Amino acid sequence: MPDRPVPSRRQVLALAGAGAAAVALASCAEEAQAPPPQPGERLLPVSEIPVGESRSVRTAEGAELVLTRVSEDEVVALSAACTHQGCAVRRETEDLVCPCHGSRFAPVDGAVLQGPADEPLPSVPVRIESGTVVVG
């Protein structure tokens, strides 16, 4: 049998890093491509979202949303997929922040507060029904 070259430690680490990056990019793309939630889908009890705060939820179809409770009887929902490259945004103090490239969005209307994203987060119609946030 011919001798096969043994990869160096540097080559192995480089390949492992490339693989991890590919998985991360694929997960971002998967979130961005998830179908929108179906009307009537029940998302979360409104009692789990304090007024002025946000919670992330995943729909039955796999779309990630951010629910923000504006007042006792109003909740808004935004797609959590950053409009820059699709990474999932999360609430940090006052804003929704993309951990991949630092875009910042307003939690109530999805407006871009800081780029590189240049499009707002899409809104999803929701309502409160029998104490639960429901896709409207």
Q: For 4-33, b where at least 16 C-beta lie within 10 A, e where not — what string?
A: eeeeeeeeeeeeeeeeeeeeeeeebeebbe
User: What domains does the chain contain, in order, with CATH numbers?
Assistant: 1-136 (2.102.10.10)
**Per residue in 6-49, pLDDT tens?**
666 666 555 555 554 444 444 444 444 678 888 999 999 999 99
Beta bridge mates, 67: 55, 77
pLDDT of residue 17: 54
Cα 38 to Cα 13: distance, rounded to the nearest angstrom: 43
Q: What is the pLDDT of residues 84-102, one digit of tens each?
A: 999 999 999 899 999 999 9
> Which pLDDT belongs to residue 36?
80
- The pLDDT > 90 percentage for the chain reads 71
What is the pTM for the complete model shown?
Answer: 0.75
Bridge partners, residue 124, by sequence: 77
